């Protein structure tokens, strides 16, 4: 599992993650594998992925092969991009789209936080896109990180410090998250 956190404050947007993977009930520390950064660059944006580790390979492949179609500048562009991603997932990456028998649409099996010059966005497995004003978190440590974000956002001034503290809190208290913390930031107007 994972923790991904995004924070927007004072002209900066930061995305941060832990670096562990879980496998068969055990946590695999970043010291044992190379590709431990869950945050991928995509144009002027960053995508932080939670869930199945294979989705990172898939999104990296799609960014390499279809960079011109991976537009993440607005809520509408993200939705359209992940419609394209979903078609690719089915056709070229053979994703199982069923989660349960009552699901309204096929699942993309992807959960992500996206930061870009226009804000913080979440894309969930049914391709719903939500935009956040200050901060958000995803992953198994989500509730812990959101508590830390809520408690510190008004009192701390630096977006990176807020994000780092939230990820560190999840890593300290959620048994599926572990440091070190990866952080990427962008400046906004």
pLDDT for the residue 1:
65
Across the chain, the runs of DSSP E, i.e. the strands, are: 3-9, 12-17, 21-23, 26-28, 39-42, 45-50, 111-116, 119-123, 129-132, 135-139, 182-187
The CB density around residue 81, as the number of other CB atoms within 10 Å, is 22
pLDDT for the residue 141:
94
Give residues with Cβ within 8 angstroms of 29, minimum separation 6.
19, 20, 178
pLDDT for the residue 56:
86
pTM: 0.91
128-152 pLDDT per residue, tens: 899 999 999 999 999 999 999 999 9
Helix, strand or coil for residue 172? helix
Domain 3-100+107-187 class?
alpha beta
Residue 111 CA to residue 108 CA, distance in Å, equals 9
114-130 pLDDT per residue, tens: 999 999 999 998 888 99
To 5 degrees, how large is the angle CA 65–CA 67–CA 73?
Answer: 155
State yes or no: pLDDT of 48 exceeds 80.
yes
State yes or no: pLDDT of 107 exceeds 80.
no
**Domain ranges for the chain:** 3-100+107-187
Reported as a pLDDT band with limits 50, 70 and 90, residue 189 is low
Q: What is the mean pLDDT of the chain?
A: 90
């Amino acid at each position: 599992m994972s923790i991904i956190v995004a924070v927007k404050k004072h002209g900066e947007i930061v995305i941060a993650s832990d670096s562990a993977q879980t496998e068969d009930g055990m946590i695999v520390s970043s010291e044992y594998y190379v590709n431990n950064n869950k945050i991928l660059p995509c144009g002027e944006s960053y995508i932080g992925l939670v869930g199945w580790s294979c989705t990172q390979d898939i999104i990296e492949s799609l960014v390499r092969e279809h960079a011109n179609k991976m537009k993440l500048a607005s809520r509408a562009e993200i939705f359209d991009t992940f419609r394209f991603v979903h078609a690719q997932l089915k056709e070229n990456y053979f994703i199982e789209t069923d989660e349960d028998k009552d699901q309204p649409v096929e699942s993309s099996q992807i959960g992500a936080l996206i930061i870009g010059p226009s804000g913080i966005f979440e894309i969930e497995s049914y391709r719903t896109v939500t935009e956040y004003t200050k901060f958000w978190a995803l992953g198994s440590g989500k509730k812990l990180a959101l508590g830390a974000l809520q408690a510190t956002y008004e009192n701390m001034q630096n977006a990176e410090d807020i994000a780092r503290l939230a990820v560190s809190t999840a890593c300290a208290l959620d048994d599926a998250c572990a440091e070190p913390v990866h952080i990427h930031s962008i400046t906004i107007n």
